[in-house]
Amino acid sequence: MKKFGMVILLMGASGCMLNARADSTLLASSTATTNSTSSATQAISPNPAWAAPLPGSSWISYTNTGDPSSAGFVVVPNGTAVTFTQTFNLSGIITGATLDVLADDTASVWLNGVELASGNLGGSYPTCSSLPIGCLTSTMGVFNFAELQPYLTDGTNTLSFVVYQEAGSSYGLDYAGSVTTPEPGSLLMLGTGLVGIALTARRRLLN
């Protein structure tokens, strides 16, 4: 009977762990989160042929390079490569991560110095890149937890995109995703709760 009681207590502890609250760090292209090596990051009106901005993000560039019909539109010379970065901090065990990327014409993706995907240079560009990563939903770069987790670290992280102009006209970047870690308060509560459960179970076994 004592062993059965301990099993129930441990099951309760497992339930507490499963219900721990998560803290989500957002990854999204914007003037507030993304830096450019060329000049200040700008939100741009997308080219009408592009996919709509991903949820919570906007199409960005280093100047007005999106919709050719917008006033002050700038044509980026072929061969141009501009790096955009987002730096973010993580604390605790990483339990989830996602990232979707769109670009015109194409882009390479780096996480903490590791290249996750190479730009489709010298390829076919009927509408942006004909292969991922391009500006259409069908050529969107999609990265899951298994692909991102090995390169995420506890502390400061840097996500980088090198966006290439290969076929004239418009130019831009759009990305969105998130990284999930347990909330610090949840970890403290779990630790305290588990210690209490262990002490209670020990007392019951001794009685």
Residue with tokens 């998130």: 178
Instruction: Assess if residue 15 is contained within a domain.
Output: no
Instruction: Assess if residue 107 is contained within a domain.
Output: yes
What is residue 203's predicted lDDT score, i.e. its pLDDT? 55
Inter-axis angle of helices 184-206 and 2-18, nearest 10: 180
Instruction: Assess if residue 12 is contained within a domain.
Output: no
Instruction: Assess if residue 146 is contained within a domain.
Output: yes
Note the pLDDT tens digit of each residue in 20-62: 578 999 999 999 999 999 889 999 999 999 999 999 999 999 9
CATH number at 144 reads 2.60.120.260
Q: How distant, in Å, are the alpha carbons of 23, 48, 142, 168 from that of 139?
A: 30, 16, 9, 18
Quick check: 12 pLDDT over 90?
Answer: no
Quick check: 198 pLDDT over 50?
Answer: no
Can you tell me the distance from the alpha carbon of 120 to that of 108, in angstroms, rounded to the nearest whole number? 8
Can you tell me the distance from the alpha carbon of 195 to that of 189, in angstroms, rounded to the nearest whole number? 10
SS3 of 140-155: the string is CEEECHHHHHHHCCCE
Average of per-residue pLDDT across 151-163: 97
pTM of the model: 0.81
Its domain, for residue 131, covers: 24-206
Instruction: Assess if residue 64 is contained within a domain.
Output: yes
